[in-house]
């Protein structure tokens, strides 16, 4: 599989969707669906063919050889899962925007597909300069999605999103350039190649600062406390498709960066920073849940819940053992389905009721039973019900983190209690209770989910059930990378790894 051609297909599909808007207003939507379906089929064939030397696909081409920059794209099991999630949620985003986006549908689909192309590039690029290019590619079209098709405060939210991610991205670029320069000075080789830069033998103090540059860039996108403040505004003001892509996929690029780059490139510095990172993860879990409960805006509540859920990923990565890392990867996949579905539900309610205020809702299940049942399922998934994918991820993270720090784990576990409170509160305030009196939003005529919306909801429900009951395929796909991740820690002194369990797992 030529990964560059795969990405160019999505980019070209975006251009075709923009051009097709001149033919018919529905043509861009169908063009996007056709491109994403074709890419999904192509990816499915690659998956069925199996991996060779741990890779399902790879593309290597020279780009700027004078500067050591190349087109190096590789897809291992971890990248395969995340690219598959990207394509699936891309379809969900198109479906969710079917009747919502009336103005400039061609340009809307163009930005949507270009965002997805940038994300696929982020998940497969192993040249650090190329990785940064794709990091920027996914940023700009998402800015336009929020700024043009967002809600009442869209300009403010789009600019805040852009500034947070752009400034942190420039910090990462500075760290990349410094890493490349130091490697050149030590080895005489000018390269941005990921594998060549592994084990660069940096001075400990310099490595710590470079690690921090990468860490901040990825935690801002994750997002983790205290860098989370852009997320609620961006989610609340974004169109439904933008929220689906933002929560389901873009947040995962931050988590992916922590797993793929921060610890393998700077294992010693990352382990020195382990406890502050784990504390930030636990704080994100609890504080995000607390802020979620205090919201009356449906979308804002779900946005803060994402801060809480992604805190488990940060906790799992820096617990740095196989159990926690596998749990973090599972949490990334499961959160993509559950939160994207809740944002799609928020968009559907706003389209029907013209409000996101839960104080103006109530008793909606009686008028839209399919929407009520679907929301109940994803609310239960979000709070970590056993038998669904979210529970598997969170439970494994907590079990792995318990080996490293009991009290941080206990603090993070409180987030499960908070999740139950805010999730059930959302359900009670919006779909349960008595019907509102005339004049409230809930008293307006309201259509239930039709076949188009139910089809993608059922697919996401099925995915969470499968992940909860039989998560083994995810673990098997991630296993080669997890082994590589742990091998990066094998050479560290025992006092850095700190616990016998982690030391044993890191041993070759």
pLDDT digit string, tens, across residues 350-398: 888 888 888 888 888 888 889 889 999 999 998 888 999 999 999 999 9
pLDDT at 376: 92
- 260 or 22: which leads in pLDDT: 260
- Report CA-CA distances (Å) from 346 to 24, 66, 120, 150, 354: 28, 50, 26, 14, 11
Place of tokens 């873009």: 250
pLDDT score recorded for residue 444: 59
Residue showing tokens 């599989």: 1
Q: What is the mean pLDDT of the chain?
A: 88
- pLDDT value at residue 27: 87
Residue 8 or 102, more confident: 8
**58 DSSP β-pair partners:** 74
* pLDDT surpassing 60 at residue 172: yes
pLDDT at 365: 84
Q: Which residue do the tokens 């931050």 mark?
A: 254
* Burial class, 104, CB count within 10 angstroms (exposed 0-12 / middle 13-18 / buried 19+): middle
Asked whether the predicted pLDDT for residue 485 surpasses 90, the reply is no
Element spanning 444, H or E = none
More confident residue, 120 or 200: 120
Res. 504: pLDDT tops 60: no
How far apart CA 261 and CA 249 sit, in angstroms, is 18
What pLDDT sits at residue 56? 92
Alpha helices in 50-104 (DSSP H): 77-96
**Alpha carbon distance 486, 238 (integer Å):** 38
Tell me the mean pLDDT in the region 189-215. Answer: 88
Number of neighbours of residue 396 by Cβ within 10 angstroms: 24
Q: State mean pLDDT over 452-471.
A: 93
pLDDT per position as a tens digit, 41-85 = 999 999 998 878 889 999 999 999 999 999 999 999 999 999 999
Q: Taking residues 183-201, what's their average pLDDT? A: 87
Give the per-residue pLDDT at 501.
52
The tens digit of pLDDT for each residue in 299-338 reads: 899 989 989 999 999 999 999 889 999 999 999 999 999 9
- Asked if 201 and 125 touch (Cβ cutoff 8 Å), the reply is no
Contacts of residue 50, defined as CB under 8 A and 6 or more positions apart, other chains included, come to 56
Q: Which pLDDT does position 88 carry in this prediction?
A: 94
Residue 472 phi/psi, 5° resolution? -55, -40
What are 157-160's contacts with CB under 8 Å, separation 24+?
A: 157/233, 157/234, 157/236, 157/237, 157/238, 158/234, 158/237, 160/229, 160/230, 160/233, 160/234
**Residue 499's pLDDT band (boundaries 50, 70, 90)?**
low
**400-442 per-position pLDDT tens digit:** 999 888 999 999 998 888 888 888 888 888 888 766 655 555 5
3, two tokens: 């990964």
- Cα separation, 119 vs 294, in Å, equals 32
pLDDT in tens, 176-186: 999 999 999 88
Rounded CA Rg of the chain? 22
pLDDT in tens, 100-155: 777 888 899 999 999 999 999 999 999 999 999 999 888 899 999 999 988 888 88
Q: What is the pLDDT of residue 131?
A: 95
pLDDT of residue 435: 66
Q: pLDDT tier at 236 (50, 70, 90 boundaries)?
A: confident
- In this predicted structure, what is the pLDDT of residue 128? 94
pLDDT (tens digit per residue) in 52-62:
888 999 999 99
255 — pLDDT class (breaks 50, 70, 90)? very high
Is pLDDT above 90 for 507?
no
Mean pLDDT of 284-310: 90
Q: How confident is the model at residue 505 (pLDDT cuts 50, 70, 90)?
A: low
pTM: 0.91
- pLDDT value at position 78? 94
pLDDT value of residue 1:
66
């Amino acid at each position: 599989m030529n990964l560059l051609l795969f990405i160019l297909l999505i980019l070209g599909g975006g251009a075709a969707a923009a051009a097709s808007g001149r033919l018919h207003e529905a043509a861009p939507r169908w063009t996007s669906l056709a491109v994403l379906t074709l890419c999904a089929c192509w990816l499915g064939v690659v998956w069925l063919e199996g991996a060779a030397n741990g890779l399902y696909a790879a593309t290597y081409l020279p780009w700027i050889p004078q500067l050591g920059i190349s087109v190096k794209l590789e897809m291992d099991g971890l990248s395969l899962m995340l690219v598959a999630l990207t394509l699936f949620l891309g379809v969900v985003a198109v479906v969710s925007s079917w009747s919502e986006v009336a103005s400039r549908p061609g340009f809307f689909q163009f930005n949507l597909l270009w965002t997805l192309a940038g994300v696929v590039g982020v998940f497969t690029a192993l040249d650090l300069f190329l990785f940064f290019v794709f990091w920027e590619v996914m940023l700009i079209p998402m800015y336009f999605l929020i700024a043009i098709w967002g809600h009442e405060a869209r300009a403010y939210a789009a600019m805040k999103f852009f500034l947070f991610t752009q400034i942190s991205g420039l910090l990462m670029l500075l760290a990349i350039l410094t890493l490349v320069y130091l490697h050149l000075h030590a080895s005489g080789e000018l390269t941005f190649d990921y594998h060549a830069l592994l084990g660069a033998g940096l001075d400990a103090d310099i490595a710590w600062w470079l690690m921090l540059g990468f860490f901040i860039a990825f935690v801002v996108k994750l997002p983790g406390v205290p860098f989370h403040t852009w997320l609620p505004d961006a989610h609340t003001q974004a169109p439904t498709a933008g929220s689906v892509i933002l929560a389901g996929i873009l947040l995962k690029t931050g988590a992916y960066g922590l797993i793929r780059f921060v610890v393998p490139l700077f294992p010693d510095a990352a382990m020195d920073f382990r406890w502050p990172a784990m504390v930030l993860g636990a704080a994100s879990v609890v504080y995000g849940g607390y802020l979620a409960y205090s919201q009356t805006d449906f979308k804002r509540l779900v946005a803060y819940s994402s801060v809480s859920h992604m805190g488990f990923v940060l906790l799992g990565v820096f617990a740095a053992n196989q159990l926690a890392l596998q749990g973090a990867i599972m949490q990334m996949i499961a959160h993509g389905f559950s939160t994207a579905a809740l944002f799609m539900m928020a968009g559907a309610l706003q389209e029907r009721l013209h409000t996101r205020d839960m104080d103006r809702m109530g008793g909606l299940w009686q008028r839209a039973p399919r929407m009520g049942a679907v929301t109940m399922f994803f609310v239960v998934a979000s709070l970590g019900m056993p038998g669904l994918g979210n529970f598997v991820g969170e439970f494994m993270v907590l079990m792995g983190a318990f080996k490293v720090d009991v009290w941080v784990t206990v603090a993070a576990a409180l987030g499960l209690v908070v999740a139950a409170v805010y999730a059930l509160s959302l359900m009670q305030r919006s779909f349960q209770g008595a019907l509102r009196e005339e004049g409230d939003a809930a008293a307006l005529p309201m259509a239930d989910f039709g076949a188009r919306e139910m089809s993608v909801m059922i697919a996401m429900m099925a995915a969470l059930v499968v992940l909860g009951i039989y998560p083994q395929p995810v673990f098997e796909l991630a296993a080669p990378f997890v082994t590589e991740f742990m091998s990066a820690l094998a050479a560290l002194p025992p006092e850095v790894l700190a616990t016998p369990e982690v030391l044993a797992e890191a041993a070759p």
